[in-house]
Chains A and B, each alone.
Chain A
């Protein structure tokens, strides 16, 4: 792997971690419940990006599998929380 690619990947990793910190702050100081739900979903998506970048930096295939599991479970969790907010009941 060349030098400039490694530099770009490390900078992108730092930027994504900073974006996760901003989103966690936004979830903490949110306006209403849907705002916090959007923030939590965004934290999951950015964590997916961080896992993909770590897999690229360390050239380890296992992190892609972790990203697959996180994507599937985050999708189901966000849909369930949106239904709970809309109907005030889960089932």
Chain B
């Protein structure tokens, strides 16, 4: 049984490291902010979560904390990526080789009057 759990841990560590390497490679090679964001989202959701699965399989002492950290990463990673992407689109960072942009037609934000304390 212990050998089987160790085999699972080795497999999870190798696959998580491969996901991290591919995510950083995409972060370097991708042409655009949005595509880079798409590549780096994989590092937090797959790379670190697989390492934590190895931790949970290997040491039964860390069962609860590892699962809490997995839940925190799976919930927090997409929220972070969405916030960064929304900020990039709001300040008008262009997309490379994009055919159409539906969000720019939808947004049409009216000019804000921050002086009167009105937040959109």
A12 and B87 contact, CB distance less than 8 A = no
DSSP class of B's interface residues: helix, strand, loop or mixed?
helix
B27 smallest CB distance to A (angstroms): 6
Residue among A9, A39, A49 with most chain B CB within 10 A? A49
B84 and A34 contact, CB distance less than 8 A = yes
20 more A-B contacts (CB under 8 A) besides A53-B13, A68-B68, A71-B72?
A: A1-B6, A2-B6, A8-B13, A19-B24, A22-B24, A26-B27, A34-B84, A38-B27, A38-B33, A42-B24, A42-B40, A45-B44, A49-B48, A53-B51, A55-B62, A59-B59, A61-B65, A82-B83, A83-B83, A85-B91
- Interface, chain B (partner A; CB < 8 A): 6, 9-10, 13-14, 16-17, 20-21, 23-24, 27-28, 33, 36-37, 40, 43-44, 47-48, 51-52, 54-55, 58-59, 61-62, 65-66, 68-69, 72-73, 76, 79-80, 83-84, 86-88, 90-91, 93, 114
A53: chain B residues within 8 A (beta carbon): 13, 51
Residue among B21, B37, B51, B91 with most chain A CB within 10 A? B51
Closest 6 CB pairs of A and B: A86-B87, A82-B83, A34-B88, A82-B87, A86-B90, A75-B76
What separation, in Å, do the CA atoms of A41 and B76 have in the docked complex? 12
B13: chain A residues within 8 A (beta carbon): 8-9, 12, 53, 56
- Interface, chain A (partner B; CB < 8 A): 1-2, 4-5, 8-9, 11-12, 15-16, 19, 22-23, 26, 31-35, 37-39, 41-42, 45-46, 48-49, 52-53, 55-56, 59, 61, 64-65, 67-68, 71-72, 75, 78-79, 82-83, 85-87, 89
